[in-house]
Amino acid sequence: MKTTRYNQYSDHLIEKYGEKVYKLPVNIPGTCPNRDGKLGKGGCVFCDEQGSGFDCLPNTMPVKHQIAENKVFFRKRFNASKFIVYFQAFTNTYIPFDRFRKNILEAAAENDLAGISVSTRPDCVNDRYLDFLLEVKGNNNLDIDIELGLQTVNYHTLTQVNRGHTLAEFIDAVYRIKARGFAACAHLILNLPWDNHVDAVENAKVLSALGVEYVKLHSLYVIRGTPLGDMYERGEFKIISLGDYVERVSSFLECLDPKIVIQRLVGKGPRENLLFSNWGVSWWLVKKKIEDYLEEKNTYQGKKFDYLNGKALIGMP
């Protein structure tokens, strides 16, 4: 029997680097093509103006100062000595190339780094930016991972979410990222109002088939003033129960390649203007419920990972 029932990021980092490694969030001024009019103006239906940078330092601070301040915090609190610089909020590759280059070089100049992690959209990844990152990786002996907001593989739901891209752009980005030896991380929300249990399972199957290295899960949170918030207040959709969500996560994990590392099982919503987040309980309670459920059902990540490489040919004489 497995001792942990899913492939946890903290264990993976210790195994890979021989010690605990901490992510230093960096917040750069920027926007997103789904907000500034290039692709759309409203943004994704659940997104507020902060673009998921709510736990970051102000974006007016220079990158190296944010890194320095966060390092002090992590060193003091956790006695940390190795770090990954994490460009977190908004779309960190949706900026002019020279600014992107400067930001990355500032991060790469740190001497106690294991790697750099860049969060972006699938349609904001191209060969020019990736080739530059490849140079940085080689020159500084750093690991690079690119985190892609996908949310779901259901392209009909992606339209409802107003993502401004479909599944195809995600597949293209993953191929380009992996071709350079970087790790790809997919961000998913397993309880979008237009998705069901089958979609959750298909998320696991598509990510496994593509061979992404990391997954981040987040349950849906609803913020007042967003299009989703308005729909929620008008009663136009219902969020599935916590019990159903736990079952969904469990089915997702069962079908996920056991090699894929779960960077995050449960996320936190922003602190302000929340209409709904994690069923009104703390994120760690949701995490515990998922872990308890896996235990009770005696199931684990990869239990049903048997569908690639010609499943129908298994046993064929």
Show Cβ contacts of residue 202 under 8 Å, excluding neighbours closer than 6 positions: 153, 154
Query: Which of 7/91 has CB closer to ligand SF4?
Result: 91
- The Cα 175–Cα 210 span in angstroms is 8
For the bound state, the minimum distance from the C-beta of residue 265 to ligand SF4, rounded and expressed in Å, comes to 20
How many residues form the binding site for ligand SF4 (CB under 6 A)?
11
Name the helix (H) or strand (E) containing 149. strand 143-151
Query: Which of 123/254 has CB closer to ligand SF4?
Result: 123
**Binding residue for ligand SF4, selected from 74, 86, 87, 90, defined by CB under 6 A:** 90
Helices (H), 89-235: 97-108, 127-140, 155-161, 167-179, 197-210, 227-233
Query: Which of 43/193 has CB closer to ligand SF4?
Result: 43
The answer to whether residue 51 forms part of the interface with ligand SF4 (CB under 6 A) is yes
Query: Which of 51/269 has CB closer to ligand SF4?
Result: 51
Q: How far is CA 272 from CA 88, 161, 221, 266, in A?
A: 19, 22, 12, 18
Show Cβ contacts of residue 298 under 8 Å, excluding neighbours closer than 6 positions: 1
Only one of the segments 28-36, 58-66, 260-268, 300-308 lies at the binding site for ligand SF4 (rule: CB under 6 A); that segment is 28-36
The answer to whether residue 44 forms part of the interface with ligand SF4 (CB under 6 A) is yes
What b-and-e string marks burial along 87-115, b requiring 16 or more CB atoms within 10 Å of the CB?
Answer: bbbbbbbbbeeeebbebbebbbebeebbb
The answer to whether residue 253 forms part of the interface with ligand SF4 (CB under 6 A) is no
The answer to whether residue 149 forms part of the interface with ligand SF4 (CB under 6 A) is yes
For the bound state, the minimum distance from the C-beta of residue 151 to ligand SF4, rounded and expressed in Å, comes to 8
The answer to whether residue 302 forms part of the interface with ligand SF4 (CB under 6 A) is no
Q: Which two tokens stand for residue 20?
A: 């605990």
Task: Give residues in contact with ligand SF4 (CB under 6 A).
Answer: 32, 34-35, 43-44, 47, 51, 90-91, 121, 149
